[in-house]
Structure 1
C-alpha cells in the first residue's frame, strides 16, 4: 500500500499483535492483558479513504484528526506490548526469546513512527529522513517523473548492459542520486572488470552532461551517445543527428525492454530481502540468473 502515517502505524500494530500472539502460546500469563486493536485501526484507515474522496481542505483536517486517533490507539498498544516484555523478563525464564527480541524491535520502530506522525499532524509536512516502510526502514521515496507513479519507494538500481545482451554491471543506491552522477562510476567499473573502456556508451538524457561526455571520452570511450538536456545549439543538433549517434540511441531504447524483463521475470520489480544490503543481494541474484539463462540459450542455439 502507499505509505501514509496512519498505514505505517497500522503496520506496526499488526506486527506487534502478531508477535504477542506467538508469545502467548509459550507464555500466556504475559500476554493475558494485551488487546487486539487491529480491527479498530483498520476501520479508521478505511474512514480516511472515504474522507479523502471529498478532496477539500476540511477533508485534510479531518484526516489529521483520524490520524491522531490512530496515534492514540497505537500508543496504548505499545504500552501493553511493553508490559508483555516486562512480564517475560520478570519470570527469569528463557522463553520465546526470538519473538521477544523482535517484539522489542517492533516497539522501538513503531515509537519512531508515532513521533513522525505527530510531527506531520502538527504541521511539519516535509521530513528529510521520513520512514516510508515499516518492513524496510532504509527504503527511500524516489521521484522519477512518471505520470502513472509520481513517487516510488525503495532503492535506485543502475543496470549496465552490453551489446551481447548480458548485464555486466549494476549498482543499488540508497536515496535518489541524480543519474548524471552515476555514469562515470559505471564506465570505471566496466574498465575494472574488462581491462579497457567500452568502445561506445549510450544513455538517456538523465545521464547526460558536458562534464560526463568529456570524462567518458577521457577514460577511453570512442563514441558517447548522450542526448543533451534542454535547448540545443544547431551544432549540437547536427552532432546528435549523426547516424552512429542515432544507432546507439536505438540500442539504448531497446535497453528499456531489458529493464522490463528483469522486473517481470527475474524479480527486480520487488526485493524480497530487506534493507540496502538485502536489496543488493536480491538484485545480484536476479542479474546472475538472467545472465546464466541467456548464456544457456546462446549455447543451445550454437549447438543446433
Structure 2
C-alpha cells in the first residue's frame, strides 16, 4: 500500500460514515463534500506514473501525493464539522456513527502526518501504519525472492508427533525465528509439566545458544540444522539417524501449516488487530485439534 492509497481508504471510510449519519441527522452532514472520485483519479495517476520507473516519476508521485494530502485534510476538516453538529441530536444511531467517525478521523490524521513525512524525504518511518483497516498489522518480509512483502502478523505453531497443535503464539511484527524457540519449549513445559523429549526445527530457529538452552531445559534430542558451513564433527552429528528422522518429521510439519491455512483459516484473519488475530488463530487451531481428535477416535473404534 502507498501513502496515497492509505489516505484514499481513510477518505472512503469517512465518506461512508457521513452518508450513514445523513440518513438520521441530515443537518449534521450539510456542507460535507464527497471527494472519493477525485481521490480515485489521483491514485490512478500515480499508477500510470510509476510504470515509468524513473527518478522523475518518483518526484511526480510525491507531488500527486501532496495533492491527495490536501484533499484528505479538507475531508477531515469537514468531517470534524459533522461531528460537532451531531452533538445537537440525541438519536442513538447518529451517536454510534459519531464514535466510529471520530476513530476514522483520528486514524486518517495519523496517515496524513505519515504521508507528509514521506514526501518531505523521510522514507523509513518506525512503526509505520501499513493498513487503514488493521493499523497494528506489520510488514513481513519472508526472505524469498518469489515472495513479496506481506502485511499482518507472524504465527508460531508447535506440533506434536501425533499431529496436534499444542502451542502457538501470534507476534506483532516479524521477530527472528531463532528468538521463538526457547519461548516455545518453555510454553510446552508450562502446559505439560515436562520438557519435550525431542525438538525439530528448520535452520531459521537454529543457533549454538538455542541448542544449549533447550538441552538445559531438559530436551534430550535437538534436531536443529546449523546455518552456514559445517565442520566434520557437526556434519557427522547431523547425519545421525535420529537427527535425520526428526528432520523428516519436521518437513511433514510444513504440510500441517498448509492445511491450517487452507482448511482452518490461518491464511487470513477475518478479525482485525493483534487481539482479534490471536482469537482467529486460536479458533482455527481449536477446530483443527477437535477434527484431529474425532478422526483418531473414529479410527480407534474400528
**TM-score, normalization by structure 1:** 0.96
Matches within 5 A, 1:3-18: 3-18=1-16
Task: For residue 33 of structure 2, give the secondary structure of its aligned residue in structure 1.
Answer: coil
2:90 aligned residue (89, 93, 96): 93
User: Deviation of residue 39 (structure 1)?
Assistant: 1.2
The alignment covers a number of residue pairs equal to 301
Q: Which whole-Å CA distance do the structure 2 matches of 1:149 and 1:77 have between them?
A: 36
Matches within 5 A, 1:67-82: 67-82=65-80
Measured on the aligned residues, the alpha-carbon RMSD in Å equals 1.1
User: Deviation of residue 254 (structure 1)?
Assistant: 1.1
1:156 aligns with 2:149: no
1:29 aligns with 2:32: no
Task: For residue 28 of structure 2, give the secondary structure of its aligned residue in structure 1.
Answer: coil
Gaps of at least 5 residues in structure 1 are none
After the TM superposition, which of the residue ranges 61-70 and 283-292 deviates more from structure 2? Answer: 61-70
Partner of 1:265: 263
Gaps of at least 5 residues in structure 2 are none
**Conserved in 1, the CA contact under 8 Å of 2:195 and 2:218?**
yes
Partner of 2:241: 243
Partner of 1:291: 289
User: Deviation of residue 146 (structure 1)?
Assistant: 2.2
What CA deviation, in whole Å up to 9, does each residue of 1:216-239 have, x standing for no partner?
Answer: 111111110001112111111111
Q: Which whole-Å CA distance do the structure 1 matches of 2:104 and 2:147 have between them?
A: 29
User: Deviation of residue 92 (structure 1)?
Assistant: 4.9
Task: For residue 10 of structure 1, give the secondary structure of its aligned residue in structure 2.
Answer: helix
**Conserved in 1, the CA contact under 8 Å of 2:270 and 2:280?**
yes
**TM-score, normalization by structure 2:** 0.97
Stretches of 4+ aligned residues off by more than 4 angstroms: none
User: Deviation of residue 25 (structure 1)?
Assistant: 0.4
Task: For residue 225 of structure 2, give the secondary structure of its aligned residue in structure 1.
Answer: coil
What CA deviation, in whole Å up to 9, does each residue of 1:89-113 have, x standing for no partner?
Answer: 2x25344111001101100100000
1:228 aligned residue (226, 229, 237): 226
